[in-house]
């Protein structure tokens, strides 16, 4: 997707607003997985998730390509919306964000705090996404899709940081929602000429991406039932599919019980907060311990934005029911 110089340029731009996030090895995680582990802590980024990087590059591009527009409109379950609101407000632009009914109250509050005008619509992300694209026709706002070249270029900077620090990684596990994260990691790997295996992770309750890769065409699901809202997507994105279907070694699926167990392990082993999607990579790595013996494993902890009641339920040993 990008040359190394294009990603380095993006990293310089993103770095003006988003400090590099750490990539740590954790001995208790190594014990649990039986091999060396590096965690890329995007939960330490401003807004608490990797999406913040794409907001920077997207808004920079928007100001140049569409200077007359007043702002952006998009749909989200939270992390993408925080990114867009933060970047738009910083440039004096409007940000109208559509979320589904029943969305995370804490993520909604964070988006409003970053300056977003919030609209609730539909039962899930995909319904909210359709509404956002319809509303965009009536206002001078740029409709930001969940997957856009400039979003991916910004997101790819975390992959660039990870691979420059650890070019010897044998495999990296990446959660997959609409696909900007995994495509960014693929782009960074390819730009640096590395051979690292990249494995995508979805929820068993939202398996559209996995089913699509296995079928060789997009497969939509009727529901996306998982408490891990960052991967609760029914409709895969074609542009992202075109990249990860070729660039990823495979897509694996994990249950909500496995995600909850991974959230608890992140807390006990590292004292880090992980949201559902953020823990999905660790959940699949735990499932695949045997195949990774003797390998250096990378985990993308993509975000730490989890509501307090949900986190308390998980730490108490329970598995939350999807909303």
Helix, coil or strand: residue 208: helix
Q: Say if strands 117-120 and 36-41 run parallel, antiparallel, or are unpaired.
A: unpaired
Mean pLDDT, residues 131-158 taken together: 95
Protein fold of 4-50+149-316: Rossmann fold (3.40.50)
pLDDT at 323 > cutoff 90: no
Burial 293-307 (b: 16+ CB within 10 A, else e): eeebbbbbbbbbbbb
* Residue 118: partners with Cβ closer than 8 Å, 6 or more residues away: 97, 98, 99, 108, 111, 112
> CA 13 → CA 9, 110, 132, 154, 283, distances in Å?
6, 24, 28, 9, 33
Tens digits of residue pLDDT in 90-115: 999 999 999 999 999 999 999 999 99
**For residues 77 and 303, is the Cβ–Cβ distance under 8 A?**
no
Residue 27 CA from chain centroid, whole number: 25
Tokens coding 33: 């997985």
Considering the chain, what is the average pLDDT of its residues?
A: 97
pLDDT at 84: 96
Alpha helix positions (H), the chain: 4-15, 27-33, 51-65, 79-90, 105-113, 125-135, 149-165, 180-191, 208-215, 238-247, 256-270, 276-287, 308-315
CB atoms within 10 A of CB 312: 11
Q: Tell which residue, 99, 239, 250, 241, has the closest CA to residue 174.
A: 250
Report the alpha-carbon distance of residue 114 to residue 107 in Å, rounded: 11
The pTM assigned to this predicted structure is: 0.95
Tens digits of residue pLDDT in 260-275: 999 999 999 999 999 9
The CA radius of gyration of the chain, in Å to the nearest whole number, is: 18
* CA atoms within 13 Å, Cβ hemisphere of 223: 7
Q: One fold for both 4-50+149-316 and 51-143? A: yes
φ, ψ dihedrals at 59, nearest 5°: -65, -35
Report the alpha-carbon distance of residue 22 to residue 17 in Å, rounded: 16
CA angle 170, 176, 181 (to 5 degrees): 70
Residue 18 — very low, low, confident or very high, per pLDDT cuts 50/70/90?
Answer: very high
Mean pLDDT, residues 201-219 taken together: 98
Tens digits of residue pLDDT in 159-190: 999 999 999 999 999 999 999 999 999 999 99
Domain residue limits, the chain: 4-50+149-316, 51-143
Residue 236 — very low, low, confident or very high, per pLDDT cuts 50/70/90?
Answer: very high
pLDDT at 280: 98
Protein fold of 51-143: Rossmann fold (3.40.50)
- To the nearest 10 degrees (0 to 180), the angle between helices 308-315 and 256-270 is 90
Report the alpha-carbon distance of residue 203 to residue 253 in Å, rounded: 5
């Amino acid at each position: 997707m990008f040359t190394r110089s294009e990603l380095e340029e993006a990293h310089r731009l993103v770095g003006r607003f988003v400090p590099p996030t750490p990539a740590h090895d954790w001995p208790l995680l190594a014990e649990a997985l039986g091999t060396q582990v590096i965690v890329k802590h995007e939960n330490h980024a401003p807004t608490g998730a990797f999406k913040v990087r794409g907001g920077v590059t997207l808004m920079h591009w928007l100001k140049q390509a569409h200077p007359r527009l007043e702002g952006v409109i998009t749909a989200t379950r939270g992390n993408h919306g925080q990114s867009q609101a933060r970047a738009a407000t910083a440039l004096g632009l409007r940000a109208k964000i559509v979320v589904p009914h029943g969305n995370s109250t804490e993520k909604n509050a964070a988006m409003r705090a970053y300056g977003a005008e919030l609209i609730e619509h539909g039962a899930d992300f995909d319904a909210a996404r359709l509404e956002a694209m319809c509303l965009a026709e009536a206002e001078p706002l740029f409709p930001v899709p969940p997957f856009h070249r400039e979003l991916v270029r910004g997101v790819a900077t975390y992959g660039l940081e990870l691979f420059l620090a650890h070019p010897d990684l044998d495999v990296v596990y990446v959660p997959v929602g609409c696909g900007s994260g995994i495509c960014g990691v693929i782009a960074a790997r390819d730009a640096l000429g590395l051979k690292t295996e990249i494995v995508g992770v979805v929820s068993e309750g939202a398996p559209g991406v996995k089913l699509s890769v296995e079928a060789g065409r997009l497969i939509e699901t009727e529901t996306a039932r998982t408490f891990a809202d960052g991967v609760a997507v029914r409709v895969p994105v074609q542009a992202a599919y075109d990249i990860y279907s070729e660039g990823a070694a495979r897509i694996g699926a994990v249950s909500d019980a496995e995600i909850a167990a991974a959230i608890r392990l992140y807390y006990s082993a590292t004292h880090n907060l992980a949201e559902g999607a953020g823990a999905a990579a660790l959940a699949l790595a735990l499932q695949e311990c045997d195949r990774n013996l003797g390998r250096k494993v990378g985990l993308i902890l993509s975000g730490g934005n989890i509501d307090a009641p949900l986190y308390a339920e998980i730490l108490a040993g329970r598995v939350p029911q999807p909303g």
